[in-house]
Chain A
Amino acid sequence: MFVRLVYESFRRQKRRKVLAGAAITLGVTVATAMIAVATDIGDKINRELRTIGANLVVTPQEDSLDVEIGGVNLKPPTDGAFLSEADLPKIKGIFWHNNILGFAPMLPVSAAIQSAGKSQEVSVVGTYFAKKLSYGNEEFITGVRSLYPWWKVSGAWPDDNSHDVLLGERLASRLGKEPGQDLTAGGPSQNCGKWLRVDLACEAPSLQLRVSGILSTGGAEDDEIVAPLSVAQQILGKPDALKRVYVSALTKPEDAFGRRDPKSLSGAIYDRWYCTPYPQAIALQLTEAMSHSHAEQIRQVAQNEGAVLTRIEGLIFLITLAALFASGLAVSAAMATAIFERRTEVGLMKALGAGKLAIASIFFAEAALMALIGGAIGFGVGSALAHQIGHSIFNSQISISPVLLPVILAIAVIVTFAGSALAIRRAVSLDPVFALRGEI
């Protein structure tokens, strides 16, 4: 009888059921979409912040001081210690390798460039543009093109295995070079102890380079030549050498625990520190991965992104609360209206001798059924909506895990019950006589 009452109620009052169901569906849709966005926004914004550039840098452990003003190195490049290029793929083998979005090695050297019969000393930076590396079975592509998205090239990006280079825009206008033209570069020779001039009889080779594009960065690179790493190594005469590695990693904003000195931690606490993607923890792992190295966070980038990230996450979290509140209210309002309209029915049931409990259980059963159906549809639509938001705003996927479905359904049922409770209480306490005469 109970089942039949509920069933018939759904069959005969389609319009009302559809209206209330639509409210529940909409509420759950908004709630699902906002929860999905809120849980993923941290990761998305973190990736956007990574476009500001590397947040970690690896340098040789026993390095001498940089004597560098405005990006121009004033020291003989042969000075000091070097890192090994062969160690680079190991960066992808650290515990947090999935958080490493990219890295680029740097090897600044000086070269004498022949231009209009004169030779000029310029600094050449060797790096990866988009180099394919492999660690184990995993292949990945890394380099400055993904690490520094604000580098603009007119012309073409050089290939990593060629003798093509990028010319900084101010240097290019000084030299009067355009993409497609050739450059002759000589390196410093250890034998001469000075910069190699091509006309001097030194043994270091001179290199034929081709300008493939003009680079504009707004920084020191505008006065430099950016070349494939192998070219800089040839100019220096040290294969496998590199001076520093810039690493872009997704990190967790530093907190009091993250700032603690790992040496003072012990056992399980150390493991917890090590296995949290704090900038310091990733730096430590990078130090371990590259031999004779020292990794450090670039504080300008690493410190500030935590602050920005926390603010945006907090904002979206508060807004998600507002969304949940609004959708809860919408569901309650719809349920209250739907039940209020059925007071004649309640009067009839009461007149026929139904108890309060019986009436309330019928209404609650109907509410639960609607919440489940509306919740399931709303979950589907909400996931699609979140997907759409992720696609149109962040150009990447916002996925919602199916684990959330029961949680969302439970919330939908609770909110629907809460919204109906007041109306149901009023309905069961109606005097059947008044209700049937339509006077309330």
Chain B
Amino acid sequence: MSHQARDLAASRGHGKHPSMFLRMLLRAAVLRRGRAASALFAMVVAAAVATAMLNLYVDVQAKLQREFRNYGANIILIGKDGASLPASALSQVDSTLAGRGIAAPFALIVARTKDGQPIVVAGTDFDRVKQLDRWWSVSAWPAENPHFSQNQGDPSTSLRAGVGHPGLVGVRAMPLVSPKNQPFDLTFQGRTLQVTPAGTVQTGAAEDSRIYLSLADFTPWTGVQPSTIEVAASGSAAEVADVMHQLAQAIPAADVRPVRQIMEGEARVLGKTRATLLAAAALIILTAALCVLSTLMGWVFDRRRDFAIMKALGASERLLNGFFAAEAAALGATGALIGFVVGIGIAAWIGRANFHAAVVPRLGVLPIVLIGSMAVTLISAILPISLLRRVQPAVILRGE
């Protein structure tokens, strides 16, 4: 004690002594390890919870948008006035999307079965449909026709070859065209194509009464180009609107329409989820901050004897305030940094457990957490100090 006092006196004699200040800060932390550790622990927990919540709040939109892309297309391109789309349309869509989504072309005609029944036959790209329309319940996807690339120039070859062309048959069309799963003939404008049912598709919608062929078989048979391209563009509402605008400019022959049903439902659910998350985050962060506040205030209050001794030895108000404030700021910063790392871990775990994808750490959250933590610790240090300031050191030292 006397040693400390001599040092303090010496420091006062020689003006400000930065190393003394640091030493006091350090000794305060080391000597009262238990209390300092519990205050730091509270700070770390609060910062971790705040980081995790803010990170989730920022990231949940991207995660849920990904879930909503399972609903399939949110943009539809249709040839104007029922015309086919230009042959280059699909590659233009692909280059506009640049990996931020998936597009599938569809060509539709009405063909006749052997007994003259009309039936809708669609040509599409099965690999793309598989990714776009994940809700399709398909018993077996047809394999792409390997002969196609050689026969492309001369469509009649593949027709004459008489090979069954694999097709995906809707569950309601199946009993009509191929009750025993046998190959069947379809006629369109006098040309006949033999289709081997590769599997059935069930969706509960119009697809159930159709037959799907790969474009490689469909186009040579009918000579019809795709008239519809369904696009599932990922990203926020603004990004999707941007993609729509670009598509309309890139392919003037197409009518670009949003699938309002999906887009509006998505916006609604996302908005509500984020609002709920924000309310929860606010509640949790408030609780954590109050936890820090009560722990730290208790800690500072407990050290009223230190405060009184310093004051009795002649420390100025400024020095005392500075000392406790620096201590609090150091605690806040340390707690925030450790808490940030822990919080990122928690957010990543929640992302993995719930969305099966890691939550991307947002560094933008760090300054918010850092400033917030330091603000809370400063308040919880200054509040008891300003209460103690009015009390005579003698009263505190006598233990009253």
Contacts and interface: CB of A to CB of B under 8 A. Distances in A.
B63 interface: yes
B285 to A, nearest CB: 8
Nearest to B398: A438
Contacts, number: 208
Interface in B169-194: 172-173, 176
A296 B374 CA distance: 58
A326 B49 contact: yes
B7 interface: no
A302 B172 CA distance: 19
B317 interface: no
B45 interface: yes
Contact of A304 (B46, B71, B173): B71
A41 B298 contact: no
Contact of A45 (B259, B269, B350): B269
Given A66-B209, A311-B63, A319 B261 contact: no
A268 to B, nearest CB: 28
A296 B38 CA distance: 59
Interface residues of A, number: 73
A48 B272 contact: yes
B257 interface: yes
Interface string A302-338: 1110011001101110111011011101100110110
B260 A218 contact: yes
A180 interface: no
B113 to A, nearest CB: 9
B219 interface: no
B266 to A, nearest CB: 8
B338 interface: no
Nearest to B117: A65
A298 to B, nearest CB: 4
A389 B284 contact: no
A306 to B, nearest CB: 10
B52 interface: yes
Contacts of B284: 30, 34, 319, 322-323, 326
B64 interface: yes
Interface in B74-130: 78, 108, 110, 117-120
11 contacts: A30-B283, A33-B283, A67-B110, A75-B118, A311-B63, A314-B354, A316-B280, A323-B283, A385-B283, A393-B275, A438-B305
Interface of B: 38, 42, 45-46, 49, 52-53, 56, 60, 63-64, 67-68, 70-72, 78, 108, 110, 117-120, 133, 135-137, 172-173, 176, 202-206, 209, 228, 257-262, 264-265, 268-269, 272-273, 275-277, 279-281, 283-284, 286-288, 290-291, 294-295, 297-298, 301-302, 305, 346, 350, 353-355, 399
Interface of A: 19, 23, 26-27, 30, 33-34, 37, 41, 44-45, 48-49, 51-53, 56-57, 63, 65-70, 74-75, 148-150, 217-219, 296-304, 307-308, 311-312, 314-316, 318-320, 322-323, 325-327, 329-330, 333-334, 336-337, 340-341, 344, 385, 389, 392-394, 437-438
